């Protein structure tokens, strides 16, 4: 039976390594991560690619992920998890790189504005990112300003 924590960690590492294959443009990725983190992503990607070389199933999953298939990311994480269990030095290297990438994530504290209805009501929500193993959650404060005028 696989350890769920290890699987999640392997998935998170794979997600960092192959993130650029899922972004609509490299420029958008550059808005979310520092240049150092982007360089580390490439390094992590190459390290995983080199390690999985020679395993036909892992190579197939790798090729599909590099084509943008998020469905194959779980398969790739499974093969990565096996390699990490078999090789603690490799596990430590990729974990360290993933932590460095995570540390290079640029926090988005921008505001989201929405028009609630046609009566000049607006809502503002400050957006604070909280990164976790499963993805990004947005936590913020909501302010609703009512500017309703009688007709």
What's the pLDDT tens digit per position in 131-141? 444 444 444 55
Read off the pLDDT of residues 27-76 as tens digits, 9 standing for 90 and up.
566 678 888 888 999 999 999 999 999 999 999 999 999 898 888 999 99
C-alpha distance across the termini of the chain, in Å:
67
Whole-number pLDDT of residue 104: 83
The span from the CA of 113 to the CA of 122, in Å, is: 7
Q: What angle do CA 83, 84, 87 make, to 5 degrees?
A: 80
Would you place residue 130 in the very low, low, confident or very high pLDDT band (cuts 50, 70, 90)?
very low
CB 124 within 8 A of CB 112: yes
Cα separation of 12 and 27, whole Å?
22
Higher pLDDT, 49 or 148: 49
| pLDDT above 70 as % of the chain | 60
- Per-residue pLDDT band for 145 (boundaries 50, 70, 90) equals low
């Amino acid at each position: 039976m696989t350890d769920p924590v290890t699987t999640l960690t392997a998935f998170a590492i794979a997600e960092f390594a192959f993130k650029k294959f899922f972004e609509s443009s490299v420029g958008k990725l550059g808005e979310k991560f520092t240049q150092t983190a982007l360089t580390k992503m490439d390094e992590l990607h190459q390290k995983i690619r080199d390690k999985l070389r020679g395993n036909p199933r892992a190579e197939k999953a790798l090729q599909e992920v590099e084509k943008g298939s998020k469905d194959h990311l779980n398969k790739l994480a499974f093969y990565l998890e096996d390699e990490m269990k078999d090789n603690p030095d490799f596990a430590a290297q990729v974990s360290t790189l993933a932590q460095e990438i995570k540390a290079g994530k640029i926090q988005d504290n921008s505001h989201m504005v929405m028009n609630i209805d046609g009566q000049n009501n607006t809502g503002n929500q400050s957006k604070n990112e909280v990164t976790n193993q499963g993805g990004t959650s947005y936590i913020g404060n909501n302010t609703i300003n009512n500017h309703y005028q009688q007709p």
